[in-house]
Amino acid sequence: MRIFRVYKRDITLDTVQRKEQVRKSLKYSVLDGSAWAAMMGLTQSYVTPLALEMKATTSQVGLLSSMPSLMMALSQLLTPDLSERAGSRKGFILPVLFGHAIMFIPILLVHYIFHDSPVWWLIGFVTISSVLGAVINPAWGSMMADLVPEQLRGRYFAFRGRITGFITLVFFFLAGVILQAFTDSDIFTGYAILFGGATFFRLLSLYFLSRQYEPAQAQEKADSPGLVQLIKGLGNSTLGKFTLYIALIDLCTNVSAPFFAVFMLRDLNFSYLQFVMVSSTGTIANLVFLPFWGSRADRAGNIRIIQITSILLPFVPLLWLVNTNAYYLMAANAFSGFVWSGYGLSAVNFVYDASLPEIRTKQIAVFNAVDMIACCIGALAGGYITPHLPVLLDYRLRTLFTLSGLLRAAVVILLLRRINEVRQVPRMTARELLIGRNGKH
């Protein structure tokens, strides 16, 4: 694969043995991500539809999104200490991943065991599962930042993201077909198949991750800031300001994000196949454009990509005001995938660039915690205010989508200019970045 040949040519490592260990680990990381993607395709977009089958209210849907985000945020702050106690990042990650795999089993059993208030049990189990899946992120991100050289991060993570995105899409379609097949019989059997499959693929992901090499972690200095100091100083550093910007964008996004599925399945009465068709176009666009953004981020810097995509973000929910036709919404979601692919890839890579190796796990933990708390607040706010909003263009949720777009625009206008690049990169106009000089790259 080309990305690994590029890596072999560009990077000088201490020993031939270590070079081979790292190259194999990057391949195992792609396999780990592929199994993870299958799990996500089977489950990520179907938790809300499962709750709707259990007669969840709009407020409960908001809680189903916000409560896991809140607990995930708090758990991130425990990661540095737990990782240190485990003796290594991998030593912490592997047992937690096993617990995450097993937690899909009680989720699939909720309907069969908990006949009273099943939605509340679902919220509880999904929250625990989400925490186990997310608490490893700072340690995993720290390990991957040590494995992948700075000058290749855009291309490598775009390459990895494209593969995982394609697999997520395939299993997302497969899950939709399974649910459609059980629509007229026992839909909960279909959901049991989905979450049972998620357990298998998460265990497969665990196996591939266990084969990865863990580079030695840079030793933390005695005077390094603690978590509390990092949180208090968010407004004083480039990474801190970036953390606040991303968190506010995600807060405004999550005001509406959990409710697009509700809009399609409840308000528009889409079938599962229509829901899959519309939702999948975002994933398709995402994986198509990841290499486009990745190569440009390596050349022009991650912040330049963030600037361009941030300007487009407010238009994403506003496109849902125009038409309810499934084919139109597929096109709107394709635009969303184009924008979010560049924004998400560059946001993660900028955190890796701007964090310090010796305290990277802490800094990623703070970034994730602040961002997830913001996501929680956004989803809670959306679930709370939706029943009280006026109807816009025949649907109350369209008012929510408009509000989300306006809030995103306000954050972009007020805060985007405060974020600076940390790498030395050439200056490029938006035109040069997107289509090159004279149309050539």
Dihedral sign for Cα 343, 33, 76, 72, please: positive
Three-state DSSP class for residue 440: strand
The mean pLDDT value for 402-418 works out to 96
Residue 201 has pLDDT above 80, yes or no: yes
- Burial degree of 239 (CB within 10 A; 0-12, 13-18, 19+): buried
Q: In whole angstroms, what separates CA 423 from the centre of its chain?
A: 24
Question: What is the mean pLDDT of the segment spanning 85-102?
Answer: 90
> What is the rounded distance in angstroms from the CA atom of residue 322 to the CA atom of residue 133?
37
Q: What is the pLDDT of residues 119-177, one digit of tens each?
A: 999 999 999 999 999 888 888 988 888 888 777 787 888 889 889 988 998 998 899 89
Give me the mean pLDDT over the 419-424 stretch. Answer: 85
pLDDT at 12: 46
Is-contact 303 206, C-beta < 8 A? Answer: no
Residue 220: inside a domain, yes or no?
no
- Answer yes or no: is 219 within a domain: no
Residue 191 falls inside a structural domain: yes
What is the Cα 61 distance to its own chain's centre?
A: 19
The pLDDT of residue 438 is: 54
Range of the domain at 375: 14-214+227-435
For residue 265, tell me if it sits in a domain: yes
As a whole number, the mean pLDDT across the chain is 88
**Do 250 and 374 form a contact (C-beta atoms < 8 A)?**
yes
Residue 7 located in a structural domain: no
CATH number at residue 396: 1.20.1250.20
In total, how many domains does the chain have?
1
Considering 19-23, 105-109, 157-161, the range whose residues carry the highest mean pLDDT is: 105-109
Residue 307 resides in a domain:
yes
Q: Determine the number of helices (DSSP H) and then strands (DSSP E) in the chain.
A: 21, 0
For 28-71, how does the pLDDT look when each residue is reduced to its tens digit (9 = 90+)? 999 999 999 999 999 988 998 999 899 888 788 888 878 887 88
Distance of alpha carbon 380 from alpha carbon 401, whole angstroms = 15
Mapped onto helix, strand or coil, the DSSP state of residue 324 is coil
pLDDT digits (tens, 9 = 90+) for 158-167: 889 889 988 9
pLDDT score at 13: 45
97 within a domain of the structure (yes/no): yes
What's the rounded Cα separation, in Å, for the pair 436 and 439?
5
Confidence of residue 9 (pLDDT cuts 50, 70, 90): very low
Please indicate, yes or no, if residue 6 is contained in any of the structural domains: no
